[in-house]
């Protein structure tokens, strides 16, 4: 933090060196951030055993999906949260290692996840539209870790990109190479 400039912070207040008692040789603490940033913390969601690695919000804003760091299947669950109530809705099984990226389809009918375990999981909304369940799991789809995924606008195709230097295009249930 030797080049740390207090004027570069996301803040709604001008901080002068004479009025601040903050030590800029170390990261600011939670109290300082709460009192001096434009976006103070609103609430916290607890449910992962380790730090959060990936997060996505549904396009309608009603759901939050998150994945935490994991070395075991027990901690590799995709967690769905109610965005309005800030509460845990469901933990979904599928991966055995850290979920690296999560993407909601444009129509919010599907959730796509990719993981360090080189697999992808596709979750779909139930008929009543109130829940998601696993409909497709493709194990070891790439030779190396899958770093990213993305949906096409029609929510019929999606892509995965890996450290193995391949970008693969998938159709729900069937792969296209």
Q: How confident is the model at residue 38 (pLDDT cuts 50, 70, 90)?
A: confident
- Residue-wise pLDDT tens digits, 56-69: 999 999 999 999 89
Share of the chain above pLDDT 90, in %: 48
Total residue length of the chain: 177
Q: Is the pLDDT of residue 18 over 50?
A: no
- The region of weakest confidence among 30-34, 88-92, 106-110 is 30-34
- Cβ-contact 80, 58 below 8 angstroms: no
Residue 137 contacts by C-beta under 8 Å, 6 or more apart in sequence?
94, 119, 120, 121, 122
Q: Is the pLDDT of residue 100 over 80?
A: yes
Q: How far apart are CA 32 and CA 80, in angstroms?
A: 30
What is the pTM for the complete model shown?
0.74
Residue with tokens 């109130």: 130
Distances in Å between the Cα of 32 and the Cα atoms of 22, 35, 67 are 8, 5, 28
In 3-state terms the chain splits into helix, strand, coil percentages (rounded to 5) of 5, 40, 55
């Amino acid at each position: 933090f030797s080049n740390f400039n207090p004027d570069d912070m996301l803040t709604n207040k001008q901080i002068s060196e004479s009025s601040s008692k903050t030590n800029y040789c170390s990261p600011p603490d939670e109290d300082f951030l709460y009192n001096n940033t434009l976006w103070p913390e609103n609430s916290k969601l607890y449910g992962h055993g380790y730090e959060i690695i990936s997060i996505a919000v549904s396009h309608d804003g009603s759901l939050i999906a998150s994945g935490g760091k994991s070395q075991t299947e027990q901690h590799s669950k995709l967690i769905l949260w109610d965005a309005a109530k800030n509460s845990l809705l469901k933990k979904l099984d599928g991966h055995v290692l850290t979920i690296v990226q999560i993407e909601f389809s444009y129509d919010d009918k599907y959730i796509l996840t990719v993981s360090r375990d080189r697999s992808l999981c596709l979750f779909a909304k139930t008929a009543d539209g109130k829940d998601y369940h696993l409909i497709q799991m493709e194990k070891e789809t790439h030779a190396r870790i899958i770093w990213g995924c993305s949906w096409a606008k029609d929510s019929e195709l999606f892509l995965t990109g890996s450290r193995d230097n391949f970008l693969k295009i998938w159709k729900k249930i069937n792969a296209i190479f």
